């Protein structure tokens, strides 16, 4: 009997193709015992990362957070949120009125030359993107609270103070590791004439 599978694009897959695909994914099929061992190792590493005695040598770094409460639905006002998570940088304007939320956002590309350049170039690019966004939304004159999600390993020393531990995701900007990211952002915003509160 000829084994023919339909793929999502509608073309037929024959036995040889199915066999080839099975060959690729075979290495990803693990036994229950192996999955349990992986879970145990992850658990041990996370505990090692949480301990003051072993954090410095743990493979999974666990840093403290200074966020002490979650939204309760009574928040009001207009806020800017920034999200640097990889090759994209997002700027969001969030208006809260109790449980009513209005979000406007724009995603900007981080070119490779910026990812591999200096910290000043990176933060100036971020400030440029913010400048474009606030001009587009006609909020340049407003002093808005600002939240910054910086999705790289950081040692947080306060709610608005964090130092980059190391670069990941292909970034290698010099002059940023060990520096306070909030200060770097504020300095770049100041150079562009944008006023925000952290």
How far, in Å, are 124, 147, 154, 161 from residue 196 at the CA level?
Answer: 15, 10, 22, 15
Residue 75 is predicted with a pLDDT of 87
User: Residue 65 and residue 103: Cα distance in Å, rounded?
Assistant: 25
Q: Tell me the C-alpha distance between 99 and 115, whole Å.
A: 37
The owner of tokens 């339909």 is: 6
Looking at residue 22, its pLDDT comes to 85
What is 1-13 written as a DSSP string? ----EE-TTS-EE
User: What's residue 4's pLDDT?
Assistant: 46
Domains of the chain: 5-57 (no CATH), 76-197 (3.30.420.40)
Alpha carbon 146 to its chain centroid, in Å, reads 16
Nearest-angstrom CA–CA distance, 88 and 180: 21
Q: Which residues of the chain fall short of a pLDDT of 50?
A: 1-5, 8-10, 198
Name the β-bridge partners of 6: 12
Residue with tokens 């999955």: 35
C-alpha 169: how far from chain center: 10
Q: Which residues contact 114 (CB under 8 A, 6 or more apart)?
A: 121, 122, 125, 173
23: left (phi over 0), alpha (psi -120 to 50) or beta: alpha
Other CB atoms within a 10 A radius of the CB of residue 181 amount to 21
Please answer whether residues 173 and 167 qualify as being in contact, where contact means their C-beta atoms are separated by less than 8 angstroms. yes
Q: What is the pLDDT of residue 196?
A: 63
User: For 149-170, how does the pLDDT look when each residue is reduced to its tens digit (9 = 90+)?
Assistant: 999 988 888 888 999 989 999 9
Taking the alpha carbons of 14, 19, 20, 22 in that order, is the dihedral positive or negative? positive
Handedness of CA 153, 126, 190, 131 (dihedral sign): negative
pLDDT of residue 197: 57
- Angle, CA 119 vertex, CA 116 and CA 123 arms, to 5°: 110
């Amino acid at each position: 009997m000829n084994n023919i599978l339909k793929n999502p694009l509608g073309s037929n897959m024959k036995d040889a193709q199915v066999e080839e695909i099975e060959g690729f994914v075979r290495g990803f099929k693990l036994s229950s015992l192996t999955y349990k061992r992986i879970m145990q190792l992850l658990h041990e590493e996370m505990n090692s990362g949480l301990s003051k005695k072993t954090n410095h040598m743990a493979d999974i770094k666990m840093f403290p957070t200074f966020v002490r409460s979650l939204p309760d639905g009574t928040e009001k006002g207009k806020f800017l949120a920034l999200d640097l998570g990889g090759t994209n940088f997002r700027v969001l304007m969030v208006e809260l009125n109790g449980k009513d939320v209005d979000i406007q956002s724009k995603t900007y590309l981080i070119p490779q030359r910026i990812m591999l350049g200096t910290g000043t170039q990176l933060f100036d690019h971020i400030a440029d993107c913010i400048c474009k966004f606030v001009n587009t939304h006609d909020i340049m004159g407003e002093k808005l609270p600002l939240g910054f999600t910086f999705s790289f390993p950081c040692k947080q020393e306060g709610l608005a103070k964090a130092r980059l531990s190391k670069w990941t995701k292909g970034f290698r900007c010099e002059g940023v590791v060990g520096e306070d990211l909030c200060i770097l952002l504020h300095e770049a915003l100041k150079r562009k004439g944008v006023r925000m509160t952290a």
